[in-house]
Amino acid sequence: MEFIINFFENIPSIYRTIILVSGLMFFWIIEGIIPIFQAKKNRVSHAGLNLFFTFTTILVNFCFAWIIVLTCDWSKNNHFGLLHLFNMPSWLMLVVGLLLLDLIGAYLIHFLEHKIRIMWVFHLIHHTDTNVDVTTANRHHPGESVFRFIFTFLAVIITGSPIWVFMCYQTLSATLSQFNHANIHLPKKIDTLLSWIIVSPDMHKVHHHYVQPYSDSNYGNIFAVWDRLFGTFMTVNDTKNIVYGVDTHLDTAENENILNLLKIPFQPYRPPVGTTKEQDLKI
């Protein structure tokens, strides 16, 4: 545990960048070997579009990073937050911290983004991708990145997370998001087994189906427990039949234009128009 604590307390920015880039490259290669579906467009141009939003996400996070660092230090010095209510061993603090940070900073904000219109119009840029792959993991409008930072900040305040727990969470969050968005085919039994612990590729692909109620399920990022606990877990018979995107924005030209994607939250609201047939679901 001492190694983990020391590593994540002092992890250089270059290490975090290497982890992010390595994950993208690794899953990008695997996608070419065992894909769920064959990409409808050139993988390189598709990646270029999503990497633009990866850059804006990194930029927003960088601008607010100092607030998280100061908050973690303040919580530690003042013993403020749920993690400081009891004298926990380091391993338990890590487990509880990861679970709570994932609940508040990932599951809760994601759930609310699908329920509150002002948040949804920013989040739907993520759902307009009709070729979901590893690069989709960071396809977030800068406005959504701000919303997600606010909930990450709240998660740190509520938990009183030490910086090493938070940095471990951020690393796992980025890696698991790449994993569960990746266009990779795992044996069904393995994917199902993983989905009892972490958010697996098949589990998250259901969330990217273009119509409700599929898109209003499986909000988790790291741990699968929250969707099962709060009744938002859903599965389908065959993920190969999933149609990606969102039913209000199916125009390919719109979804591949950076300027248009940036403007979507400020355009007239388009309410959902499609629903699934109950017999197509396996809940």
Predicted confidence band of residue 208 (pLDDT cuts 50, 70, 90) = very high
How confident is the model at residue 283, as a pLDDT? Answer: 34
Distances 210 to 28, 39, 66, 102 between C-alpha atoms, Å? 23, 16, 37, 25
User: Which residues are CB-neighbours of 140 under 8 A, at least 6 positions away?
Assistant: 53, 56, 57, 123, 125, 126, 148
| Cis peptide leading into residue 187 (ω within 30°) | no
What total number of domains does the chain contain?
Answer: 1
How confident is the model at residue 282, as a pLDDT? Answer: 45
Neighbours of 94 (CB within 10 A): 22
Rounded-to-integer distance, Cα 278 and Cα 283, Å: 10
pLDDT tens figures, 162-187: 999 999 999 999 999 999 999 998 99
How confident is the model at residue 3, as a pLDDT? Answer: 79
What tokens does 208 get? 């990217």
Evaluate if residue 273 carries a pLDDT over 80: no
Between residues 236 and 106, the one the model is more confident about: 106
Evaluate if residue 83 carries a pLDDT over 50: yes
Rounded-to-integer distance, Cα 111 and Cα 73, Å: 29
What tokens does 74 get? 């303040």
- Residue pointed to by tokens 């994601």: 110
Residue range of the domain that includes 242:
2-267+275-280
Q: Give the predicted TM-score (pTM) of the model.
A: 0.91
How confident is the model at residue 62, as a pLDDT? Answer: 87
